[in-house]
Structure 1
């Protein structure tokens, strides 16, 4: 076995790692990224030593939570119905990415403050999501359902803006729906 290959985790270690990620995801989402690692370990029902065996630093835990979140979004986006109308498929994916990205900015800022390049850590998972959205964008544009001048750079900017906007709106579901309606209306051809 070469030095670059990792041994698979034992079943109990894999369960502990998954439980830590589940707990950290929930705790960070409800209480913010400032929660001490000791509290996360306690909430997961493991010792702090177990947490640090899997995630040597809090930043490593934050990064793992973000990577997992993006991988989940990519998986969910890939599972959207392939037989949907082109515009519907695009808007469903856009909505999924925005809704599931809540809190990502706080994670990225915490990692940047610790000197971690969040963009590099999230490159693979982010690329899968961008590829899915770019494909859906092109399909909807070919069908005449989206503005033809919209390209991937504008799409990414819109996603970032929409995600930030939704974070500011908090739990106001009606306001969130109004924002989606305005965005989607603006993306349709005139």
Structure 2
């Protein structure tokens, strides 16, 4: 009897872990589709990318607004977790910063696509910007500090200022195919390097 109770006790956490993993797959798929096709992309495209039925998406996220908020939070968390992982990867701190900024640009592309929804007046959206800053500015600061301590970049770069600059370079990238925001961001990050 104890064995079956123990088995039942283990089945619930496993199911929760599976449910969390499935939700991450849905959110990754939604983020990728939003980056490629915009926030108004058909739910069937997200379902196809995730390898699930449309009903599964609606079961997890009953409205598009629910999905948008979840993607936003998911991407913020992925960006926040990537910073320390990149620093621990063995790359130079400047290279880690560059890779993190690339992830941040992907997030910004999605975020700019979500802008209309985020300004819709829904109270649930009001706290997202503060959440974004609270989670990502310290990560950017950690990457900048590591690169400055390593003597790779100038020490006076402010994380918020850099993130705002990157964000400004990304504005309009979706409306002009000749505008390459990623190239400009790469030039900005390269420009942080101290001369050798």
Q: If the length of structure 2 is used for normalisation, what is the TM-score? A: 0.67
Does the 8 Å contact 1:148/1:189 carry over to 2?
no
State how far apart, in whole Å, the 2-side matches of 1:171 and 1:10 are: 47
| Mapping 1:84-163, distance limit 5 Å | 84-116=91-123, 118=125, 120-121=127-128, 123-124=130-131, 126-163=133-170
Given that 1:87 and 1:146 are in contact with CA atoms closer than 8 Å, whether structure 2 keeps it comes out as yes
Q: How does 1:155-174 map to 2 (within 5 A)?
A: 155-164=162-171, 166-167=173-174
Report the aligned-residue RMSD. Answer: 3.7
Match of 1:27 in 2: 33
Q: How far off is 1:179 after superposition?
A: 1.6
Conserved 8 A contact 1:108-1:118: no
Give CA-to-partner distance per residue, 1:147-171, whole Å, 9 cap, x none: 3332233122112123336545659
Q: How many matched pairs? A: 180
From the superposition, tell whether residues 128 and 18 of structure 1 become closer, same or farther in structure 2 (CA, over 3 Å): closer
Unaligned runs of 5+ in 1: 1-6
Q: Distance in 1 between matches of 2:98 and 2:111?
A: 20
- Summarize the Cα distance change of 1:169–1:78 in structure 2 as closer, same or farther, 3 Å threshold: farther
Q: Where do residues 43-58 of structure 1 align in structure 2 (5 Å cutoff)?
A: 43=48, 45-46=52-53, 48=55, 50-58=56-64
Is the contact made by 2:93 and 2:150 (CA closer than 8 Å) also made in structure 1?
Answer: yes
CA distance, structure 1, for counterparts of residue 98 and residue 160 of structure 2: 17
